[in-house]
Chains A and B, each alone.
Chain A
Amino acid sequence: MRKEIKSSLPADNEIILGILNDSKDILNRLYKTYFPMVLQLVLNNNGNEDDAKDVFQESVIVLYNKVKSGNFELNSKLKTFIYSVCRRLWLKRLNAQSRNMRNVEDFSEFIPVEDDLEKHEEKDRQFHLMEQALKQLGEPCKTIIEDYYLQNRSMQEISEKFGYTNADNAKTQKYKCLQRLKKIFFQS
């Protein structure tokens, strides 16, 4: 192990609370606190900064899903958790590129995170499925669905934006779009 890069740490429970509240500030601090550690890991093990970014962001997604799933209990330091996830993800990528690393140069302690990653893989699969389904859905359905379900816009706003004569027409359109999405998503 080589010396690790030190940085001022926000408290773990502060971060978890921030995640639950969707705090942008906490995400910012989380990112700036732990990214250097992951960058160090990846750079010193045959990767570049883009690899580090991908791996780190994936680990943050894993953390968010874990926290938001409700039954989150942290049985290690958050730092160790993130490091372990990133380490595992990076090793997996190296293997996939068949750039075999016999030993990883480590910068921190780590814990087994196989279970979390298994769950993450399932979520990841669904994410890509949804991405694919929305793409297949095409416009204007995609935007209507995103506006209504993701941006939480009212039907009134949506019908104005798309130039429908009344909200009911928009609702009919939304209904058709949703039916199609349902078909695509659950059938694939």
Chain B
Amino acid sequence: MNKDTEITNLIDAYLRDELTPAERSDFQQKRNNDPAFDLNVVEHENLVRHLKEYGERVQLTSDMNAIYEEIDIDALKREAKPELPLIHRLWAKYRVSTAIAATVAMVAVFGTLFMTGYFSEAISTNYTQMRREINSIKRSQNALIKNIGDKPSKAPANPGQFGGTGFALSSNGYVVTNYHVIKGADSVYVQNSLGEAFKVRQIYTDPAHDIAVLQIVDPAFKLATLPYTFKKSASDVGQTVYTIGFPRDDQVYGEGYVSSRNGFAGDTVAYQVSIPVNPGNSGGPLLDSKGNVVGIINGKQKFADGAAFAIKSNYILESIAAIPQDSLENKLVLNKRNTLTGLSRQDQIKKLEPYIFMVKVY
């Protein structure tokens, strides 16, 4: 054996504690005196330590593997994770796919609706019709209220449920208003500026153009000749116009101008008018400065300033023409002569006052 081998064996013997006390003290002595030898010992020790750690871990792992083999793993598994009902397992497995599928479906549905313009119809909720809800009692309760009222009276005792405005078409008791004002009514009355109420019946309704023609039932009712005429041609944008209506229990004047040739969402039946209107103005006349009726107020756009709408007057004329004249008790003859032209606005309003009615709907 050469020297190196002997040194190694010596160190091994030292590490295994196989040296006699004399050899041991010799060994220590040598370590202290010979740094190269000491380094050799340290290196050796280090390697052996790593080796032993390796060995211990291999041993430990094989011991543990043996223990693992003894364990009834299936029984433990059942206890550790009880099988969930089928539906839970499916849900756990497929919930991500389900979420994706649902998202795709939603995108497809709303995308399609959007592409086909479904949502552009939804804007019509921005549009409000200007009839006035006088109180909140539902009309379905109306019959009950009437039964309680024991005395039949000519004018109704309770105020109307809804209100709007109407104006005379002729001196013999024909009145025009919006269809939406009298829609679904049990009975309709008109009340003039003096507070006199007259029962009316529906002669003609045109839901498409939102026009209703009424007739005052009282045969004795008679007005002086109408001061205004109906304009057949379209009004120009910028034309000054005014209206008189019943947004409350008194006549209210409002002034503005035609701001667009077409109405809400391009509706050619109506004008857009920049004029202050409120619930109750529906059915009111829209007059130009010469005293011609150019339209009939029927609504306004929500959340937009000064965007009211008025049905063009030629649709009023169309509606009147559509009434079979033979069925009428009194002939409906439109006034041809305008007596408002040239008057100041105040005088025009004074002359108009008796021809504009509050429409009360029960």
Residues of A within 8 A of B (CB): 5, 24, 27-28, 31-32, 35-36, 39-40, 43-44, 49, 53, 57, 60-61, 64-65, 68, 123, 126-127, 130-131, 134, 145-146, 148-150, 152, 168, 171-172, 174-175, 178-179, 181-182, 185-186
Contacts and interface: CB of A to CB of B under 8 A. Distances in A.
Nearest to B75: A36
A181 B47 contact: yes
B71 A32 contact: yes
Contact of B80 (A44, A127, A149): A44
18 contacts: A27-B60, A27-B67, A32-B71, A39-B80, A43-B80, A49-B77, A57-B64, A61-B57, A61-B60, A64-B60, A130-B50, A131-B54, A146-B55, A150-B54, A171-B9, A175-B5, A178-B44, A181-B51
Nearest to A128: B54
B79 A175 contact: no
A127 B52 CA distance: 10
B51 A152 contact: no
A185 B51 CA distance: 10
Contacts of A40: 80-81
A24 B9 contact: no
A27 B64 CA distance: 8
Interface string B29-65: 0000000000000011001101111111110110111
Contacts of A186: 43, 47
Contacts of A36: 76, 79-80
B47 A182 contact: yes
Interface residues of B, number: 34
A186 to B, nearest CB: 8
Contacts of B196: none
Contacts, number: 97
B303 interface: no
A57 B51 CA distance: 20
B53 A123 contact: yes
Given A53-B68, A57-B64, A175-B5, A127 B54 contact: yes
Contacts of B81: 40, 43-44
Given A31-B68, A127-B53, A130-B54, A185 B47 contact: yes
B76 A175 contact: no
A172 B5 contact: yes
A182 B43 contact: yes
B67 A172 contact: no
Contacts of B9: 171, 175
Nearest to B43: A182
